[in-house]
Amino acid sequence: RLMFLIILFLSVIVVVGLYYFHSNKSKECANTIFNELLCSLPYGVLALDKSGKIVFYNQLFMEMFGIGSGYINDTALLPEAIVKKLNSLEGSEPIEISIDNKKRYLFVNKSEVKLGNFLDGYLFTFWDITEQELLKDKYKLAYEIFKNSLSAIAITDLKGNIIDINDSFEKITGYTKDEVLGRNISILKSGIHDKDFYANMWSSIKETGKWEGEIWNKKKNNDIYPEYLSIFALYDNEGNQKNYVANFADISDIKRYEERLESLAYYNEITKLPNKKFFISKLKKFIVDYRDKSIAICYLDIDNFRKFMDKHGTEISNNVIYQISNRILPHLRTYDIISHFDDDIFVFVTIYDNQKSFEEYLEKIQWAIYRTITINGEPYNFTSSIGVTIYPEDNDTVDELIRHAQQALYNAKLKGKNKISYYDIIMSKQIAIRKEKYQAIEEGLKNSEFVLFLQPKYNIVKNCIVGAEILVRWQHPKVGLIPPGEFIPYIYNTDLEVEFDKYIFDKAIEAVKYLKNNGIEIKLAINISPKALLDDNLVDYVNSRLSNFDSDIKSLLEIEIIESTSIDNLEKANSILNRFHHLGFGIAVDDFGTGYASLDYIKSLPIDTVKIDRVFVSDMINDPTDLNITEIVILLAKAFNKEIVAEGVESLETASALIKLGCEIFQGYLISKPLPIDDFVNYAKYHQGIKMKLNIENYFNSKDDIEIYAAINSFRRLVEMIKEIGSAKFDQNKYDKIYFNSISWLRNKGMAYFDNKSLYKSIVDKMVKMKEIIDKMNKRDIPQDMYSLYLEELIYTSDLLETLFK
């Protein structure tokens, strides 16, 4: 309509103009008005007569066509192409012209001007639409970019409802456009991030108009993947947000690449163990984490490995080093850290608890390395040397600590290889401490500061006390009562150890007599040191002392030997134990099941009683593996006709399970703690008259019940421990033990044993599900937020297991 009015207006002007012009009224005046009118128009105007001659034009027309000022009256002045175009026009059309190599877009209207036979011609009006056209191009380009962008783009309204997406969105998320249009962008939420995460994100978008960062989202097929997401807001003219544009790319590959890069930068290529650089940062953290502990830094080097390398070349050598690293790893404690520095050098760090167990730890590693490795059919045995320094006795920087351990290694090599050597300060400090303690114990013995406590062994079926174990305590004049675990290690394997045994033996005879005088005749068991089994010193002494006593006193004595300390010379031990036997002593093996040679012991030594170790008993209803060990120990002892005593019985449940498995003599807190002799006398007298009222109900219907109950408890404990991950309470060692035991039980016995029992089957199914979640959590490669979700699931399933069992 506007166009029509303009044309009408122009036509009037033209007609009026031409009339004046032709009527010759006032040529000059008409020209002036005419030109001014034309110039004031915001359009280009051109009129041609039928012959193509320019009748008139305005300034804007000239500018549009880039024609310099000056009078033109001939179409010849217009570029030929334009004239052609203008002539061929019909009605209104956009045209494209090129002026000074620049494109211009004009909207042209062509209309015939007919005024009878006065004048025939054409009137053209030109609108410059270049800007709009360029904008259109830009829009087109923008759309192409949007459509073809490799990152996914979603445009939403202010509520997050999706208005448009591009192809990559479909490709990355697996959703088609139809599926997502109108739906909320939150369909992509993975559930990994918590509410706070999204709250922060949205407040940033609301306040600053943008947010970017890494985020975990979920695809249509429920796969969760990491993406780099940027969101920005679009604004209306008033400055209010009107839309959001989310732009993201799947960065799983980048993440993997980063990991690979990290692996190159931080790990040894051959063994994939942390390299020196990474190790140093880990060691720094280790020292902070365990600041109240003694920390051993151990520098291990394979003896003569250079020679081996020269002979066999790098490839074989690397392979050997890889095998060696795999042999070291199982012997490390879980919190230990290890590094493969170079060639054949491994450095590892552990907590130094006491000399004995620390050296056992190192020796186990040396043995593991020493086991035969076959190369091209030829057997090889590698020895290794270890240098050790201990922090904070050696209170130096991390670099220096490593250097000191390395120095200690050189000493080990100088001493002839296959040795362990300590950095000097430590050596002297350790020796000084041991010497001091040793002297104090010697002094304590002279002053008779060691007192006996007695802990009853109770036969739960016959309902009577069948014996008691003598457990020593040091009544230290300054410190008070010290348990044996805190002083016996200092005299371990020394001459004082046997002197100590003699002292206890004398006290034991006194105790037997004292009890007898009080009308209590039960066997007392003495723990004797492993060293006393290797020479006749103690048994000679006992023999000479006992000759003064009646045989009934002798028959009230028993010795306990510890199974977990390996006896190198079984023959000698056998002869000494036989001597004890002939003297009338009963012989019990303590801690049965913890050593390496249980079967050897029970077969070849004159043993009367087997004591199942406390570690198995106390966990047997919480750990199916411990339960199985307990069961096997009982079966083994029965097969060899031995008496069986369960140590560390603390609960009625455990007692009930033990009875079901065939063990009826218990020693443990459920019966009584170790008591001073007078208290013990009172206790025993009391129980002589009254039977112990232990309501050991039938907790379990069958052995299977105990086993599944133990398995359920072990999963419950795992979940309890997972809750503590990250806190100071968390005990990695304990966790590893429970994990290992429950999973290996599940994998083997659990699956096979209970497969065909419908109730157990559903329990085992739940456990398998828990195992999968726990495994994911153990890898620690899931985002922190996911933990709580998994944990909830675990707690739920663990509760469910208990309900199912009940």
Q: How far lies 568's CA from each of 493, 530, 573, 596, in Å?
A: 13, 10, 9, 12
Helix (H, G, I), strand (E, B) or coil at 229: strand
As measured in angstroms, the least distance from the Cβ of 526 to Mg ion is 9
Residue 527 is a binding residue for Mg ion (CB under 5 A): yes
Peptide bond into 379 cis (omega under 30): no
Tokens of 204: 């940033």
Annotate each residue in 436-455 with x if it binds ligand C2E (CB under 6 A) or - if it does not, as one string: -------------------x
Run of H or E including 55: strand 54-57
CA distance 697 to 159: 63
Residue 344 is a binding residue for Mg ion (CB under 5 A): no
- How many residues form the binding site for Mg ion (CB under 5 A)? 5
CA distance 499 to 504: 9
Binding part of the chain for ligand C2E, among 222-230, 233-241, 479-487, 755-763 by CB under 6 A, reads 479-487
Residue 527 is a binding residue for ligand C2E (CB under 6 A): yes
Nearer to ligand C2E, 60 or 562 (CB): 562
Nearest to 787, CA basis, from 194, 318, 17, 356: 194
As measured in angstroms, the least distance from the Cβ of 737 to Mg ion is 19
How does strand 44-49 pair with strand 54-57?
antiparallel
40 within 8 A of 27, measured Cβ to Cβ: no
What DSSP character marks residue 746?
I
| Interacting partner of 344 out of ligand C2E, Mg ion, none (Cβ under 5 to 8 A depending on kind) | none
Tokens of 444: 């304590």
Binding positions for ligand C2E, 331-350, rule CB under 6 A: none
| Interacting partner of 472 out of ligand C2E, Mg ion, none (Cβ under 5 to 8 A depending on kind) | ligand C2E
| Interacting partner of 665 out of ligand C2E, Mg ion, none (Cβ under 5 to 8 A depending on kind) | none
Nearer to ligand C2E, 298 or 528 (CB): 528
Run of H or E including 426: helix 424-446
Nearer to Mg ion, 542 or 801 (CB): 542
Binding part of the chain for ligand C2E, among 96-104, 330-338, 521-529, 793-801 by CB under 6 A, reads 521-529
Helix (H, G, I), strand (E, B) or coil at 334: coil
As measured in angstroms, the least distance from the Cβ of 516 to ligand C2E is 20
Q: Taking the alpha carbons of 82, 83, 85, 90 in that order, is the dihedral positive or negative?
A: positive
Nearer to ligand C2E, 258 or 495 (CB): 495
Sheet bearing 345-351, strands edge to edge: 337-342, 345-351, 295-302, 384-391, 420-422
Q: Which of 485, 517, 689, 693 binds ligand C2E (CB under 6 A)?
A: 485
As measured in angstroms, the least distance from the Cβ of 669 to ligand C2E is 3
Binding positions for ligand C2E, 568-627, rule CB under 6 A: 590-591, 614
335-348 burial, b at 16+ Cβ within 10 Å, e below that, comes to: ebbbbbbeebbbbb
Binding positions for ligand C2E, 533-562, rule CB under 6 A: 560, 562
Nearer to ligand C2E, 390 or 472 (CB): 472
355-359 long-range CB contacts below 8 Å, 24 or more apart? Answer: 355/430, 355/434, 355/489, 356/489, 356/492, 358/296, 359/420
Binding part of the chain for ligand C2E, among 391-399, 644-652, 702-710, 716-724 by CB under 6 A, reads 644-652
DSSP states of 537-596: HHHHHHHHHHTTS-HHHHTTEEEEEESSS--S-HHHHHHHHHHHHHTT-EEEEEEETSSS
Nearer to Mg ion, 344 or 647 (CB): 647
As measured in angstroms, the least distance from the Cβ of 461 to ligand C2E is 19
Nearer to Mg ion, 209 or 484 (CB): 484
Annotate each residue in 762-791 with x if it binds ligand C2E (CB under 6 A) or - if it does not, as one string: ------------------------------
User: Count of CB atoms within 10 A of residue 137's CB?
Assistant: 12
Nearer to ligand C2E, 255 or 545 (CB): 545
Q: Phi/psi class of residue 638: alpha, beta or left (left: φ > 0; alpha: ψ in -120 to 50)?
A: alpha
Q: How far lies 324's CA from each of 273, 305, 340, in Å?
A: 12, 12, 11
Nearer to Mg ion, 165 or 612 (CB): 612
As measured in angstroms, the least distance from the Cβ of 486 to ligand C2E is 9
Binding positions for Mg ion, 566-595, rule CB under 5 A: 590-591
Binding residues (CB under 6 A) for ligand C2E: these are 455, 470-472, 483-485, 488, 504, 527-529, 560, 562, 590-591, 614, 647-650, 667-669, 674
Q: Name the site residues for Mg ion (rule: CB under 5 A).
A: 527, 560, 590-591, 647
